[in-house]
Amino acid sequence: MSLGLQDRRDVEFLVRDVLGTEQLFKLPMYAEHSWETFDLVLDSAYKFAHEQVLPTMVVSDREGVKLENGQVVTPPIFKKLYKAWREGGWIAVTETEELGGTGLPRAMTIHPVAALVGANIAFFTMPGLCHGAGEMIEAAGNAAQKALYVPKLFGGEWGGTMCLTEPSAGSDVGAARTTATKQPDGTWHIKGEKIFITWGDQDLTKNIVYPVLARVEGDPNGTGGLTLFLVNKYMVDAKGNLGERNGVHCTGIEHKLGIHGSPTCTIAFGEDAPAVGEMIGEQRGGMKVMFKMMNTARIAVGLQALSLAEAAYRYAHQYAIDRVQGSAVENFKDANAPRIAIIKHPDVRRMLLDMRSTVEGLRALLGFCAYQHDLSKAETGEAAVNADELAQLLTPLCKGYASEVGFDAVSTSITVLGGHGFLRDHPLEQYLRDTVIARLYEGTTGIQAMDLVGRKLGRRGGLSMMDLLGRMDKTINQAREVGLADLADRVSAMRAKLGETAMGLGGAAMSGDLHGPLLSATPFMFLMGDAVLSWLHLWMATTAITSATQGDFEKNKVRTARHYITQAEGRVRARASAIKAGDRSALEMAFEGE
């Protein structure tokens, strides 16, 4: 029997028992919803993921995408899948009922979405971008733009994407050279080239909406001079009727390490004919609008890492149950001793628990961050602001940290299978290839770390960080009260190292050291990620040990927490020590050829 793509019992435990999201049902925004809706959505997601999405994963990877006569051709199996995805309402599942969604809190809806992602990440990026583009227009568009675009994007009638990167402007978005020239009729002509555009062209929808960052002539250099425009693949009138082809074309597709079913395109605007667009938001306010989409996208990338890590773990877990190899360690000298399943071998059990604790910790991190997002929308005043700021603080971890440790978990799953894991007979090598991109797009791990250290730690004078540390203290005290003092002491030590190191980096920056804090940014992000996941594991263990039932599930939550916290404490101490040492060898190094 297959273990499937997601642990439903663990999802329900996190959502109901740990986070206590029923508190959201007491707020007006979510008062009409209930657990029954959540259960129905989970049921539907699991059925859809296993029966319709998962069968396309390997096929689409092997077939890949093609560029034929200027048109991107996606794996044929995607046409039926996309139709079913649209009809199931999965694109807007996280939105309100008025926008075609379930209206459920995101702390709930991210879990059915995660099951769909784990079934085929290459395909998921397409409807995911439809949703992202629609969400951005809903947040920043005028009334006419919202009425025209949002229903078509959330309903999947039109495709969407995001156009930031250029050959000379990758992480340095402000170096973009794409221009926008205003026309007498009030429209704009966009001219330039964008690269690495996920689903920049495809054959699944009649039209594609391109949100494009461009600079109006005379506006300043840097990100502050960029404006956001909407460009359609086909000319569109006010009623949404499609006309002739617009001046936007795919000029090439990338041949990538992973996500082969997802076309990554070079898009030319205004090369042979004018690319007509319309402004969204205010002039020179493009990055502010785009960040609305990017922050959501960054958390979605973390969800991708979690989903593939869990799918890989559960596959390796099932394999370890089925694979018979070797004898029990106490009988290893007896050639006639019975052979046992490899899940009985200590090192395999260690690897499985490494993966499991990472997966459950990441699920808690993303779930907690989604819960803060819900509170920021449903609450008012200071409570809403505090929730939003805490979500902002944790977003770099949700993307940067999650994508790194998620990749490590997938890599470990291959080791569990040994040589078999290296073969295409099993999906793990594809999971590994597909997971790599999570560390790169929507801002590399280094970019996330610099955002954390350079922007997020100091927001509001560090109040959000103090809020986080206070929450950790509360859980530590609760854990001691229920008999988990040993784990509480370890998490307390990590909490102290986190606070001390954050203050040290802040002090160095305030003293005028521009390079030291950035040199330590990525190690600090890993330190903070390990400390935060340890806190969340302690929270889950405390909840489990006080449960009315004490079966294997509850006992395993404590065991998983103990394993993770024990391993993480050493990593946190080592990183804190290295950061405090202030080694600047990387800055002083004389690299050949520089």
Q: What is the pLDDT of residue 168?
A: 86
Residue 442 annotated to the active site: yes
- For 518-576, what is the HEC assignment? HHCHHHHHHHHHHHHHHHHHHHHHHHHHCCCCCCHHHHHHHHHHHHHHHHHHHHHHHHH
Question: What average pLDDT is seen over the chain?
Answer: 95
CA distance 543 to 522: 31
In this predicted model, what pLDDT tens digit does every residue of 292-329 receive, in sequence order? 677 778 889 999 999 999 999 999 999 999 999 999 99
| CA atoms within a 13 Å half-sphere pointing along the CA-CB vector of 114 | 30
Tell me what pLDDT residue 132 has. 92
Question: What pLDDT was estimated at residue 4?
Answer: 86
| CATH class of residue range 8-154 | mainly alpha
Confidence band, pLDDT 50/70/90 cuts, at residue 2: low
Cα three-residue angle 113-114-115, rounded to 5 degrees = 90
Give backbone dihedrals phi and psi of 235, rounded to 5 degrees, phi first: -60, 140
Say how many Å lie between the first and final Cα of the chain, rounded.
56
Q: What tokens appear for 356 in the block?
A: 């499991």
- Report residue 566's pLDDT band, with 50, 70 and 90 as the boundaries: very high
**Torsions phi, psi of 252, nearest 5?**
180, 155
**pLDDT bracket for residue 1 (50, 70, 90):** very low
Q: What is the pLDDT of residue 170?
A: 79
CATH of 460-582, one of 3.90.320, 1.10.10, 3.40.50, 1.20.5: 1.20.5
Q: How far apart are alpha carbons 565 and 570 in whole angstroms?
A: 9
Q: Please, are residues 386 and 467 in contact by the beta-carbon 8 Å criterion?
A: yes
The count of other CB atoms within 10 Å of the CB of residue 527 is 26
Cα→Cα distances 195→170, 212, 271, 468, 527, Å: 9, 12, 14, 38, 33
pLDDT at position 200: 97
Pairing mode of beta strands 188-198, 248-253: unpaired
- Report residue 173's pLDDT band, with 50, 70 and 90 as the boundaries: confident
Residue 220 DSSP label:
P
Distance from chain centroid for Cα 112: 14
d(Cα 288, Cα 292) in Å, to the nearest integer? 7
**Average pLDDT score over residue span 169-185:** 91
Average pLDDT over residues 268-289: 95
- Report the pLDDT value the prediction gives residue 542, as an integer from 0 to 100: 98
pLDDT attached to residue 270: 97
Q: State both tokens at 442.
A: 């929507």
Backbone torsion region of residue 535, taken as left when φ is above 0, otherwise alpha when ψ lies between -120 and 50, otherwise beta: alpha
Give 227-246 as a DSSP string: EEEEEESEEE-TT--EEEEP
Digit-coded pLDDT (tens) for 254-274: 999 999 999 999 999 999 999
Q: Greater confidence, 123 or 293?
A: 123
d(CA 512, CA 44): 55
pLDDT digits (tens, 9 = 90+) for 507-525: 998 899 989 999 999 999 9
- The CATH architecture to which 159-285 belongs is Beta Barrel (2.40)
Q: Where in the chain is the domain with CATH 1.20.5?
A: 460-582
Cβ-based burial of 240 (10 A; exposed 0-12, middle 13-18, buried ≥19): middle
Domain boundaries for CATH 2.40.110.20 within the chain: 159-285
Neighbour tally for 160: CB within 10 Å: 31
Per-position b or e across 34-60, b if 16+ CB within 10 A of its CB: eeeebeebbeebbebbeebbbebbeeb
Percent of the chain with pLDDT over 70: 99
d(CA 397, CA 368): 12
H/E stretch holding 309 reads helix 286-322
Give Cα 474 distance to the centre of its chain: 28
Query: Which residue type does 512 have?
Result: G
Q: Pull the structure tokens for residue 432.
A: 């590994």
- 379-408 per-position pLDDT tens digit: 999 999 999 999 999 999 999 999 999 999
The answer to whether residues 159 and 199 touch, using CB atoms and an 8 Å cutoff, is yes
* Closest CA relative to residue 118, chosen from 262, 260, 315, 293: 315
Give the active site residue among 389, 442, 554, 569: 442
The whole-number pLDDT of residue 409 equals 98
Q: What are phi and psi of 348, to 5 degrees?
A: -65, -40
Give the pair of three-digit tokens for residue 161.
């994407």
